[in-house]
Amino acid sequence: MITRARQLSLRLASPPVFTRAAFVTSRANEQALALIEAWPAWPGGALALVGPEGAGKTHLATLWAGKAGAAHFEAGVSTDGRPLLVEHADEIGDEALFHLINRAPTDGGLLLTARTRPSSWPAALPDLRSRLNALTVAEIGEPDDALMIAVLEALFREKHIRAAPDLYEFLLRRMERSVTAARTLVARLDEAAAEQGRPVNRLLAREVLEETADLFED
């Protein structure tokens, strides 16, 4: 089994690159990308970006924040009328969220991210509920095969790894379906191949998958 020290190095090494060129598109996310890129022509100045963990919400939100010059939401901190990014928007208070949505048209834009659609977010204020129900939603679906293969290919290219052709299907049947998991897995494959002087193939992948299984149990 890998040591805790190695697990820690995997969690801290190789931070993700949130550039437009690094964003891999597929049927699972192409509509969400189109809506993000439609800013500032969002109805009411606001957009909700939703999807499962590890599907690419942070990547898209970071792209938009850079393009819009947006601030990140912090409770009680003024944004000086700038566009605003609110991650985990379903976890902030009713009054704060109601205020932010109302200000969106004059502040230049409001991007709200969460795992679920706004219609399911808790809202005790009737006026907030109506606004949440009216939000335009950009939804990212579960990563499909095309997206995961493209992500793996891009990550292998970054590491200058020539993966065996049959490796992709092997990994897809066994790995967690998320961009985060793919990034960690490719980093570990690269490390193991360098340490052991071995090619990146199904045999090495099987060993690495067994060793890294507990990295995603948190």
Express each pLDDT in 110-138 by its tens digit: 999 999 999 999 999 999 999 999 999 99
Q: Is 56 exposed, middle or buried (0-12, 13-18, 19+ CB in 10 A)?
A: buried
Q: Is the pLDDT of residue 218 over 60?
A: no
Residue 118 one-letter amino acid: P
Residue 208 tokens read as 């690495």
Residue 123 one-letter amino acid: A
- Give the pLDDT band of residue 76 (cuts 50, 70, 90): low
User: What dihedral do alpha carbons 46, 52, 54, 57 form, nearest 10°?
Assistant: -10
Q: When comparing pLDDT for 68 and 19, which is higher?
A: 68
| Mean pLDDT along residues 154-162 | 89
Rg of the chain over Cα atoms, rounded to whole angstroms, equals 20
- Least confident range of 30-39, 44-53, 69-78: 69-78
pLDDT value at residue 53: 83
What Å distances lie between residue 140 and 96, 116, 186, CA to CA?
Answer: 25, 10, 23
Q: Is the pLDDT of residue 190 over 80?
A: yes
- Sheet order of strands, 84-86 included: 71-72, 84-86, 110-114, 46-50, 136-139
- Give the pLDDT band of residue 8 (cuts 50, 70, 90): very low
Question: Are 70 and 97 within 8 A, CB to CB?
Answer: no
| Mean pLDDT along residues 31-45 | 96
**Cis omega before residue 122 (within 30°)?**
no
Question: Are 172 and 149 within 8 A, CB to CB?
Answer: yes
pLDDT, tens only, 79-114: 678 899 999 999 999 999 999 999 999 999 999 999
| Mean pLDDT along residues 2-19 | 51
